[in-house]
Amino acid sequence: MSMELQLKGKVIAAVKELYGQEINENLAQVQITRKDLTGDFTIVVFPLLKISKKSPEETGKDIGEYIKASDENVANYNVVKGFLNIELASDYWLKLVNNITKEEKYGYQAANDDSPLMMIEYSSPNTNKPLHLGHIRNNLLGYSLSRIAAANGYKVVKTNIVNDRGIHICKSMLAWKKWGNGATPESTGIKGDKLVGDYYVKFDQEYKAEIKTLIANHLKNYSELDEIKDFSETYSALKAQKKTKEGLDDEQNKQFKACEDLSKYAENNAPLILEAREMLRKWEAKDPEVYKDWETMNGWVYKGFDVTYKKLGVDFDKIYYESDTYTVGRDMVLSGLEKDLFYRRDDNSVWCNMTSEGLDEKLLLRKDGTSVYMTQDIGTAKLRFDDFDIDKMVYVVGNEQDYHFQVLSILLDKLGFNWGKDLVHFSYGMVELPEGKMKSREGTVVDADDLVDEMVNTAREMSKELGKLDGYSEEDAETVYKMIALGALKYFILKVDPKKNMTFNPAESIDFNGNTGPFIQYTHARIQSIFRKAAEKGISVAAEAPTNVEIGEKENNLIRMISNFPNIVAEAGRVFSPAVIANFAYDLAKEYNQFYHDYPILFEEDEDKRMMRLVLCKNVGKTIKNAMWLLGIDVPEKM
């Protein structure tokens, strides 16, 4: 039982003994003492004043005295302004350290055959463009979550759903057919996912041009727009004004409606989009030529993705492809239709009425019978359910999809999936640039490969300048550069509360000093260096620390922090937040560096103290390593 719980029990016992009243356990508040005050645990006495009918100071003293007398681990206590600080004996803490030493996987709970299975979906790329910074956040969060879940005793299956079909894929295929002249990754030397992405952009440019022409040609059909000079200027001006408080007057409203109509007409009737839709129909009909091109181009993209995934150090246990799941989804929807869960409109499209759940009506199949996003997710769920005995399903998907998952949860529940109702949408915030959202069509995205490469270059330059890896082979040094670069990037992303939007400024490169991954990695390397030096001096680290020495303030802080690590892991698992782990690792590293600066370790003359500190260092190193593993960050022996 943890000391926190023990103290809680003591407080309850003390109140009963001293004031003759049974209290609810949430009145017995025990927390970790603030760093700037003396003590290890703090009991808040304010909630007890009504019962004690004494001043905060007196109440604190009463309870402090009782606890000190009844627990041999309690060395002393003090009362400050209604807060009772309990000080524990040195040997209590040192025994705790010796227990931690025994656990190599300290902080982790192992899964067994009966453990619940958590499936975590993350990444979910589209095969029409390369991965960017937004995907990086998704991948890093998903990967870290899977490790945190594993450390909390879950069986974990990491999964990926590849959006490999749909109109967006047809767009890049069509552009490549039209303007590609048979270009391949081999012929151009361009990475496959980027090559395909280039044609997606090309499509968009040509499409926009067609829309413009169409609008110009049809402007005369709209009498409301007779007078205007520039269509897009007028339209966006009206849009802007609609958002303001004044809004639009009747005349402007008519114009606005006309703009909307014309714009919609052009978007739906541009030759390119008609061709792309035709291509999608052919694809769904398994037209051999279209299908072959589709396979070829997706093949290029997968090769490109593999490179990026490897670079990021993420992987999957099972990959699903929408091209396999969308028909399953369609069948599910049709069977739901038979059971009257859904309904068909006159135009043949299929819908689900969710107004009783406070939501809208949701389209499940288009009038031409093709699938939409939601249909595919239903099919994917079905296949996963067939493949695995899922207890908990977690979707790592951006917060722009909050509504989608609300709907999906209800649909899956209606369709009889027992985990549908409490599926977890791990909803994370967007990565924004200082000037706003990233837009792939406008070329303002931060490319994943470029970013990692740039970080590795910076890490290499910095290491060489500092000369820390002299004596390492080129290959070994390169491994460390990559470790540091990824450490910086991963920590930078993961330390932020996942549900919040975060800002990334590409102009200011990610730091390697201060509250960063390399700072924590450095701390680990520093600790390992001590053991190398110790070995040189012929000092071996004992299995147990002597418990007969007094520990200092920094040592006490360190022990308290590492002993709290299992609670941190549990908390991170409970709220699905790698940031909790990241902040812990930083605080621990920071505390250790202060200790390192203030206390001699190998130079300590008292042998027992020296040994105690060495054992403590060992455990701090292990805790840092284990914490960073949960973030998917490796720590070096030397840097």
Q: Would you call 75 helix, strand, or coil by DSSP? A: strand
Q: Which is nearer to RNA, 308 or 323 (CB)?
A: 323
Q: Applying CB under 7 A, does 249 fall inside the site for RNA?
A: no
Question: For the window 133-172, what string marks contact with RNA as x by the rule CB under 7 A?
Answer: ------------------------------x-xxxx----
CB of 141 to RNA, least distance (A): 12
CB of 534 to RNA, least distance (A): 8
Kind and range of the H or E run holding 398 = strand 392-398
Question: For the window 327-366, what string marks contact with RNA as x by the rule CB under 7 A?
Answer: ------------------x-x-x----------x--x--x
CB of 254 to RNA, least distance (A): 20
* DSSP 8-class letter at 37: S
Q: Which is nearer to RNA, 6 or 515 (CB)?
A: 515
Q: Which is nearer to RNA, 33 or 409 (CB)?
A: 33
Q: From CA 430, how far away is CA 92, in angstroms rounded? A: 46
Positions in 359-418 near RNA (CB under 7 A): 360, 363, 366-368, 372-373, 376, 399-404
**How many of the chain's residues bind RNA (CB under 7 A)?**
94
User: Which residues make beta-bridge pairs with 428?
Assistant: 398
Instruction: State the helix-helix crossing angle for 192-218 and 167-179, rounded to 10 degrees.
Output: 90
Q: Which is nearer to RNA, 489 or 496 (CB)?
A: 496
C-beta separation of 522 from 484 below 8 A: no
Where helices occur in 182-287 by DSSP H, the ranges are: 185-188, 192-218, 231-243, 250-269, 271-284
CB of 258 to RNA, least distance (A): 19
Q: Which is nearer to RNA, 250 or 347 (CB)?
A: 347
Specify the residue for token string 């040195």: 90
Among positions 13, 80, 219, 341, the unique one binding RNA when judged by CB under 7 A: 80
Q: Which is nearer to RNA, 495 or 622 (CB)?
A: 495
Positions in 512-571 near RNA (CB under 7 A): 512-516, 518-519, 522, 525-526, 528-530, 533
Among positions 20, 24, 26, 186, the unique one binding RNA when judged by CB under 7 A: 26
Specify the residue for token string 């593993």: 629
* DSSP 8-class letter at 435: T
Positions in 436-495 near RNA (CB under 7 A): 436-437, 459, 462-463, 466, 468, 484, 495
Q: From CA 119, how far away is CA 242, in angstroms rounded? A: 44
Positions in 415-434 near RNA (CB under 7 A): 430, 434
C-beta separation of 496 from 579 below 8 A: yes
R_g of the chain, CA atoms, integer Å? 31
Q: Which is nearer to RNA, 117 or 570 (CB)?
A: 570
Positions in 255-314 near RNA (CB under 7 A): none
Residues in contact with 345: Cβ distance below 8 Å, sequence separation at least 6, in sequence order: 351, 367
Q: From CA 159, how far away is CA 179, in angstroms rounded? A: 35
Q: Which is nearer to RNA, 118 or 561 (CB)?
A: 561
Residues in contact with 145: Cβ distance below 8 Å, sequence separation at least 6, in sequence order: 120, 122, 394, 396, 426, 576, 578
Q: Which is nearer to RNA, 94 or 170 (CB)?
A: 170
Q: From CA 526, how far away is CA 590, in angstroms rounded? A: 13
Among positions 34, 53, 303, 421, the unique one binding RNA when judged by CB under 7 A: 34
**Binding region for RNA (CB under 7 A) out of 24-32, 100-108, 191-199, 254-262:** 24-32
Among positions 46, 92, 265, 321, the unique one binding RNA when judged by CB under 7 A: 46
Q: What is the dihedral of CA 413, 416, 422, 427, to 10 degrees?
A: -60
Kind and range of the H or E run holding 54 = none
Positions in 572-611 near RNA (CB under 7 A): 579-580, 583, 586, 590, 593-594, 596-603
Q: Which is nearer to RNA, 111 or 370 (CB)?
A: 370
Q: How many CA atoms lie within 13 A of 76 on its CB side?
A: 5
Q: Which is nearer to RNA, 291 or 599 (CB)?
A: 599
**Binding region for RNA (CB under 7 A) out of 74-82, 198-206, 221-229, 249-257:** 74-82
Among positions 12, 44, 228, 424, the unique one binding RNA when judged by CB under 7 A: 44
Q: How many CA atoms lie within 13 A of 309 on its CB side?
A: 17
C-beta separation of 62 from 36 below 8 A: no
